[in-house]
Chain A
Amino acid sequence: MLNKTAHVSEAMFSKKIESVPVRDGFGEGMVRLGRENPLVVALTADLKESTRIHRFAAEFPDRFIECGVSEQGMITVASGLANYGKIPFACSFAAFSPGRNWEQIRTTICLNDVPVKIAGLFVGVTVGADGATHQMLEDISLMRSLPNMIVVAPSDAIEARKAVIAAASINKPVYLRIPRVESPVYTTEETPFEIGKAVTIWEEKNPQVTIIAHGVMVYESLLAARELSKKGIMSIVINCHTIKPLDDQAIIHAAKLTDAVVVAEEHQQSGGLGGAISELLGQQYPAYIEIVGVADSFGQSGKPKELLERYGLTAEHIAQAARRVIKRKNS
């Protein structure tokens, strides 16, 4: 059952639900933010249109910086801008930023504690035909291990737009993980969004399993929950858009209700949200956990849907994991 306080789209499970590339929401958020806050500056490394920063660049040419293909250069320049007092958003593909420039992020942004916002577009296997080199599956792991860094992974275009605005309002480094792919817009203007606060989207009486997800896997999790419900398996679905700091309270609360947790994410099974939740529950409330993610392999070229299927990242896989974890709990 959909949680009323989440105010999700009325078209949630209908064919009419609109699909929009999550990155488009990011681009729109940047334009709105630019109008609100003159301190905001955007940088890119020769990926203006792919990162959807081209509209910001057109409207605020004086606050847009083209760095050329130089992710290490771009991120250190962003560090300098933030140190001065600007609010820089460094936009590239996640495989290159934070993939290539991790040490510069560690030292000049995190240890230095300056509020650079790093937007990593093109994440997960849904990047598609470009193949493994461009399908970033390790970024959450890289970013969440850094002190001072906040890690946010929006689940649809509206949430991506809200995440941009929210990221600018905190005086901290933030990593925004933004999918390229079209994904159903299941949230609305009214859906609550606050960095660090997980949102319960689906909630049934006497739940047997909690499904926690981020990014495009949230919608897949909701589809899974609906299927499970039809078979009499009640569940909770949490959109955990902020991976760091984790909403410990919400997660422990749900774990206590179900004792069985499935984490679903378009990331390696190690080091991502699944890792973060395992660390939390392992130390504070041991529960049965299954992680639906990429199993220690790289992606490959293909269509997004084919690849989600191939790498075990669909609603069906989530439902199977839910059955497995419930079985383990009950055995």
Chain B
Amino acid sequence: MLTNMATNLPQDELRAHAQAIRIDIIKMLNQAGSGHAGGSLGMADIFTALYFRVMHHEPENPLWEDRDRLFLSNGHIVPVRYAAMAHAGYFPISALKTLRKLDSDLQGHPERVRMPALETTSGPLGSGLGQAAGYAYAARMDNRRFRVYCVTSDGEHNEGNHWEAVMFAAKYKLSHLTLFIDRNNIQIDGFTNDVMPLEPLSEKYKAFNWNVIQIDGHDFYQILSAVEQARSEYQRPTVIIAKTIPGKGVSFMENKFEWHGKVPNDEEAKRAIKELQKNA
């Protein structure tokens, strides 16, 4: 069983996992020929933290009933989840190359029916938090002890469905629910501030009665401390607004919205992997 500890954390070890996961993301997207590079790379540190420190889970027993649940709302970044799961031992790393191929369990957008450990099916944006809130509500009805995590993107915050769930979670004081926001400032058509401004985002959540924590989403200490803080909150759901760099680790992809839904060609993949290896 993997457990967490914000203190004494082996930052180097986590960083090494994250870089290895990034390299696999590049490889799998290159092989698939389509998919979403920006958000997947940007969330590699948070997924590393979730799968290697934060969540109570058993990769060899994926449906262990007391596991923490992780709902990925912005399903298009599922390559980072597949890669993190493979590195954590859910399935062989070699399976990653089947991403987006016919009959693969690694669908372009996550499908629970094909891979139950994904907890749900997503891709259409804005519906993850509602599901996570429903799950958390049900768990509390039965006095279950596990925590529910949900990962969303900033672009998804354009969807009304998301804000309906924000109100629901606050009304029912779902303090065992923790929401991560991938605040990378990009979506498909451009920078979030141009497509649909969200700021002041943390004030919005505060006004909706959430416990709000802002962090640098590439700093493991901050990620793990924020999770600890969420665990000691007993009245409100917690949102961790994580500032991230889309395309993180590959200089020619970083902060470019054009890389939202693009994948590296062979030459770009080679360059990207070289750069990631150098900084591993």
Contacts from A to B (Cβ < 8 Å): 44-50, 66-70, 72-73, 95-96, 99-100, 128-134, 300-303, 306-307, 310
Q: Is the CB of A66 within 8 A of B189?
A: yes
C-alpha spacing A226/B188, complex, angstroms: 43
- Hey, what's the 0/1 contact readout for B124-140 against A, CB within 8 Å counting as 1? 11100000000000000
Cβ A301 vs Cβ B102 within 8 A? yes
Bound Cα distance A68, B190 (Å)? 10
Q: Which of chain B's residues have a CB closer than 8 A to the CB of A68? A: 155, 158, 187, 195-196
Contact count A vs B, C-beta below 8 Å? 93
Residues of A close to B117: CB separation below 8 A: none
Structural contact, A133 and B158, CB atoms closer than 8 A:
no
Q: Which residues of A contact B101 (CB under 8 A)?
A: 301-302
B108 within 8 A of A: yes
Q: How far is the CB of B263 from chain A (nearest CB, A)?
A: 10
Please state if B102 and A48 are interface contacts (CB–CB under 8 Å): no
Known A47-B188, A95-B124; contact A130-B102, beta-carbon cutoff 8 A: no
For the complex, is B159 an interface residue (Cβ under 8 Å from A)?
yes
Q: Which 5 pairs across A and B sit closest by C-beta, in order of nearness?
A: A68-B196, A133-B123, A68-B158, A302-B102, A131-B108
Separation of A131 and B105 alpha carbons in the complex (Å): 11
Is B189 a contact of A131 with CB atoms below 8 Å?
no
Can you name the residue of chain A whose Cβ is closest to the Cβ of B153? A69
**B45 within 8 A of partner (CB):** no
Are the C-beta atoms of A70 and B102 separated by less than 8 Å?
A: no
Q: Which residues of A contact B195 (CB under 8 A)?
A: 46, 66, 68
Among listed B6-14, B27-35, B58-66, B81-89, interface-contacting one: B27-35
A301 and B33 CA atoms in complex are apart in Å by 12
B271 within 8 A of partner (CB)? no
From B101, B108, B121, residue with most partner A Cβ within 10 Å: B108
B34: which A residues are within 8 A, CB to CB?
Answer: 128-130
Give the distance in Å from the alpha carbon of A194 to the alpha carbon of B137 in the complex: 53
Known: A67-B196, A68-B158, A69-B126. A48 touches B188 (CB 8 A): yes
For A131, give its contact among B109, B160, B161, B196 (CB under 8 Å): B109
Give Cα distance in the complex from A130 to B158, angstroms.
Answer: 21
Residue interface bits B246-264, CB-to-A below 8 A is 1, else 0: 0000000000000000000
- Report B-chain residues with C-beta under 8 Å of the C-beta of A95: 124
Size category of the B interface is 20 to 34
> Which of A50, A130, A301 interacts with B104 by CB under 8 Å?
A301
Residues from chain A with Cβ under 8 Å of B124 in the complex: 95-96, 99-100, 133
Answer whether A46 and B187 are a contact pair too, CB < 8 Å, given A301-B100, A302-B101.
Answer: yes
A27, chain B: closest CB distance, angstroms = 15
26 A/B residue pairs, CB under 8 Å, sorted by A? A45-B158, A46-B155, A46-B158, A46-B187, A49-B189, A50-B188, A66-B189, A67-B158, A68-B196, A69-B126, A72-B160, A73-B160, A128-B34, A129-B34, A129-B35, A130-B108, A130-B123, A133-B75, A133-B122, A134-B123, A300-B107, A301-B100, A301-B108, A302-B102, A303-B102, A307-B102
Known: A131-B100, A131-B108. 11 other contacts (CB 8 A): A46-B187, A46-B188, A47-B189, A49-B189, A69-B196, A70-B158, A100-B124, A134-B108, A302-B101, A302-B103, A310-B102
User: Among the listed A69, A128, A131, which residue makes an inter-chain contact with B125, where contact means beta carbons less than 8 Å apart?
Assistant: A69
B216 at the interface (CB under 8 A from A): no
Q: From A309, which residue of chain B is reached at the shortest CB distance?
A: B102
Instruction: Tell whether, in the assembled complex, residue B159 and residue A306 are in contact, meaning their CB atoms are under 8 Å apart.
Output: no
- A306 and B102 contacting across the interface, CB-CB below 8 Å: yes
Partner of A70, one of B108, B122, B159: B159
Q: Are A44 and B189 in contact (CB under 8 A)?
A: yes
B268 interface residue per 8 A CB criterion? no
Min C-beta distance of A4 to chain B, whole Å: 41
Q: Is the CB of B103 within 8 A of A70?
A: no
Within 8 Å of chain A (Cβ to Cβ): is B156?
yes
Q: Quick one: closest B residue to A44, CB to CB?
A: B189
Closest to A50 in B: B188
A128 proximity list for chain B (CB < 8 A): 34
| B102 proximity list for chain A (CB < 8 A) | 300-303, 306-307, 310
Q: Across the interface, which residues of B come within 8 angstroms of A132, CB to CB? A: 107, 109, 111
Which of B34, B125, B189, B196 neighbours the largest number of chain A CB atoms within 10 Å of its CB?
B189
Q: How far is the CB of A122 from chain B (nearest CB, A)?
A: 12
**Docked pose: A48 CA to B103 CA in angstroms:** 31
Give the CA-CA distance A130 to B124 in the complex, in Å. Answer: 11
Q: How far is the CB of A182 from the nearest CB of chain B, in Å?
A: 15
Rounded to whole Å, the gap between the CB of A139 and the closest CB of chain B is 14
